[in-house]
Amino acid sequence: MTAVAVVRSIALVGLEPHPVRVECTRASGLPGLRLVGLPDTAVREAGDRVRTAIQRAGLTWPQDRLVVNLAPADLPKVGTGFDLPLAVGLLAATGQVPVGSLAGLFAVGELGLDGRARPATGSLPAAAGARAHGARRLLVPSAAASEAALIDGLEVVPVDDLAETVAVLRGERPARRAAPAGVAPAGTGPDLAEVRGQPVARRAVELAAAGGHHLLLSGPPGCGKTMLAHRMRGLLPPLAVDEALEVAAIHSLAGERAPDQPLDLEPPLREPHHTASAAALVGGGSGIPRPGELSLAHRGILLLDELLETPRWVLDALRQPLERGSVVITRARARVVYPARVLLVAATNPCPCGHLGDPLRACACRPDRVERYRSRLSGPLLDRLDLQVDLRPVDRRHLLGPPDGEGTATVAARVLAARQLAAERWGRPALVATTPTARIRPTVRPAALRALADGLERLGRSARAFDRCLRVARTAADLAGSELVTTEHVEEALAYRLPSLEPAR
């Protein structure tokens, strides 16, 4: 009976890693390669790449019938990362590589026709999955080695080509060690002090950054909406290493991260165009769905500029992920879950021409056009935007005078102190925006709770608005260093529920 050589690899279904046994053996029949186990097109085409790479490396392609099974057979196999384990398995099955060298070995990588090893999409989550499923060594292309080496407790073996792979497995050449990619230096973004005027909007930005609250900025063109939104990133504390690895894994899976890129501790900022589709925004695509902009902004900021230029059905696709903090995409072949814990910052004009309510320029829009424009923002989505601010054109004296607001470093220090206060109160790092209100209520004075209920009743707001206003008030108290939420903090939270921008109900 011909022996079966087994090399282990990783199949990614979304971010979830599944171990795959690449089982290779000889069989009776006409010469050729038979690949089974639910492979997609890229995996089926691996046979031609592997055969040519083996021949170019000076090795022998056997004139036998070769059968390869990717087990478990009912799991979809997607991508080019199975080239390297397939080549190693076939060489072991034909006696050109010792089978004993495959013990504890996982392999992930693509092969070129010249035998060179190339990184496959998702090397970082694949490395994390290999470690989780008991890998002792991981064979990867050299270009992906520094990324894979970010995962602790795993020996990463970089190889340049198939010839080096064989030499290492035969013991003819010592395995190289991969050095993990370093940490990227902290960036210097635009300063909040450059924003002139707009004290209410600046305060809203600080509250949003401190508590992780979603923010809507509405106002005429040139009043500073986008300028404020771009400066929010500098107010957020740096990510912890495990959080940065989670973010990097999503970007690696999406093919948006260079394999040798240092680990970035700065929260991501994504700014999709308003013509982006729902699939581009929340994720999707043929086969196994890919992460969208919402997941690529995980633990950072999703900036939706020109919000009301986006179709309503696209915006409404955000409602459930914003509430849940994750995106669930179900297809016939797979169900994937991507994290999507984001701080949503939306900016919009109040009407199509942008000058509704502008004291300097008259609005030229008919009422029905304004109504249609605003109807793109549904009531349930507006309800999920904790802070809603109307901006006005900047006064001339603010433009000509010296900077009249604090810089990024000063505000960021207050944001960090507020987050640390919340972490000490609840015994773990937590954003106020995602903390259950049952844990917040004991820290609120009874008079403040009554004031909040009365205020929302007058405004006709929902129970969801009550919970969200309560969280904003808790953040305002944290920024003030107060252990208890008072009526003053509640009144400030209610003030951010009084915008002039109202959608059609």
Residue spans per domain, the chain: 5-170, 192-428
CA distance 94 to 377: 63
Q: Is 96's pLDDT higher than 90?
A: yes
DSSP per-residue codes, 95-154: TSS-GGGGTTEEE--EE-TTSBEEPPTTHHHHHHHHHHTT-SEEEEEHHHHHHHTTSTT-
DSSP state, residue 388: E
What is the CB neighbour count within 10 angstroms for residue 494? 21
Confidence of residue 362 (pLDDT cuts 50, 70, 90): confident
Q: Is 417's pLDDT higher than 50?
A: yes
pLDDT, tens digit, 9 for 90 and up, residues 301-316: 999 999 999 999 999 9
Q: What is the CA radius of gyration of the chain?
A: 28
Q: Report the sign of the C-alpha dihedral through residues 174, 175, 179, 181, in that order.
A: positive
- Looking at the structure, give the CATH architecture of the domain made up of residues 192-428: 3-Layer(aba) Sandwich (3.40)
CA distance 196 to 189: 17
CA distance 268 to 296: 8
DSSP per-residue codes, 10-79: EEEETTEEEEEEEEEEEESSSSEEEEESSB-HHHHTHHHHHHHHHHHTT----SSEEEEEEESTTS-B-S
Residue 101 Cα distances to 4, 137, 163, 189, 303, angstroms: 14, 11, 15, 49, 50
Question: Crossing angle, helix 241-253 and helix 123-132, to 10 degrees?
Answer: 120
Q: What is the predicted pLDDT for the residue at 308?
A: 93
- Looking at the structure, give the CATH architecture of the domain made up of residues 5-170: 2-Layer Sandwich (3.30)
**Mean pLDDT, the chain, as a whole number?**
90
Residue 51 Cα distances to 86, 251, 269, 354, 488, angstroms: 10, 31, 43, 61, 73
Q: What is the predicted pLDDT for the residue at 505?
A: 37
pLDDT, tens digit, 9 for 90 and up, residues 149-168: 999 999 999 999 999 999 99
Q: Is 383's pLDDT higher than 90?
A: no
Q: What is the predicted pLDDT for the residue at 503?
A: 47
Strands 343-348, 215-218: parallel, antiparallel or unpaired by DSSP?
parallel
Q: Is 504's pLDDT higher than 70?
A: no
Q: What is the predicted pLDDT for the residue at 430?
A: 81
3-class secondary-structure state, position 287: coil
CA distance 244 to 238: 9
Structure tokens at 462: 């929902």
Structure tokens at 279: 């699939």
Strand pairing partners for 156? 138
Q: Exposed (0-12), middle (13-18) or buried (19+): which is 60, by Cβ within 10 Å?
A: exposed
Mean pLDDT of 167-177: 93
CA distance 147 to 150: 6
Confidence of residue 334 (pLDDT cuts 50, 70, 90): confident
Q: What is the predicted pLDDT for the residue at 500?
A: 57
CA distance 97 to 75: 28
Strand pairing partners for 111? 117
User: Comparing 187-191, 378-382, 471-475, which segment has the lowest mean pLDDT?
Assistant: 187-191
Mean pLDDT of 90-119: 94
**Which residues, 6+ apart, have CB-to-CB distance to 265 below 8 Å?**
183, 184, 186, 238, 239, 241, 244
